[in-house]
Chains A and B, each alone.
Chain A
Amino acid sequence: GAGVSQSPSNKVTEKGKDVELRCDPISGHTALYWYRQSLGQGLEFLIYFQGNSAPDKSGLPSDRFSAERTGGSVSTLTIQRTQQEDSAVYLCASSLEVFGRQFFGPGTRLTVL
């Protein structure tokens, strides 16, 4: 596709369940980022992948959060044992190079009941 895509667009889950969010970056973009945006709030950095380098996980809020990027392309963000405070829109972005223009996906709205 022409842009960053994310799935699902909406996810409702029960507290304590695990969820997986998927991001397909723009083809050829080496950098991939995950952010979290709570209602009416700014963008909170979660994790960053650049090529084959070890990811920068400095923004992950707890060890319940993890992310993988397979083959330098698709990424999944996994949240284990979800809590109500995990409810937010999770945005993925990709860029051609480090500190290049980031293109955002449409986001996944996660609601934890």
Chain B
Amino acid sequence: GENVEQHPSTLSVQEGDSAVIKCTYSDSASNYFPWYKQELGKRPQLIIDIRSNVGEKKDQRIAVTLNKTAKHFSLHITETQPEDSAVYFCAASIKGSQGNLIFGKGTKLSVKP
């Protein structure tokens, strides 16, 4: 079946450093790639998304890049802050489903002050 692989599973950085989380997907027809942030005990919140007709999208300290040929996309967080500490999930849309997203298993990001 379709699959989304996410790496690393855990990531620890010093405050101010950059963090990069990478995802690969298997369905070449995927055309929508959101990223969600989930703080402990809270619901997932969309932080950024990208569609397949765009290679890069930026929103302040957060950016997402997409390589459709290689079927991978990445989340980049610059100037990390302790409040960035959370679990981050990538997702990819699935062909043949009007709304189905397949999620990666998540990356636990810890930003040390």
**Which residues of A pack against B, CB within 8 Å?**
31, 33, 35, 41-45, 48, 50, 53, 56, 58-59, 91, 95, 98-99, 101-107
Contact B99 A56 (CB under 8 A): yes
CA–CA, A53 to B99, complex, Å? Answer: 12
User: CB of B20 within 8 A of chain A?
Assistant: no
Given known contacts A42-B105, A43-B89, A99-B93, A59 and B100 CB-to-CB distance under 8 angstroms: yes
Instruction: Name B103's contact: one of A43, A53, A58, A98 (CB within 8 Å).
Output: A43
Q: B76-113 CB contact bits vs A (8 Å, 1 = yes)? A: 00000000000001010100011111111110000000
Do A33 and B89 touch (CB < 8 A)? no
A31 cross-chain contacts in B, Cβ below 8 A: 99
The residue in B44, B45, B46, B93 that gathers the most chain A C-beta atoms within 10 A of its C-beta is B44
Asked whether A107 and B89 contact (CB < 8 A) given A41-B105, A43-B103, A102-B34, the answer is: no
Q: Are A48 and B44 in contact (CB under 8 A)?
A: no
* A113 → B minimal CB distance (Å): 22
User: What is the bound-complex CA distance between A42 and B46, given in angstroms?
Assistant: 15
Contact B44 A43 (CB under 8 A): yes
CB distance from B3 to the nearest CB of A (A): 12
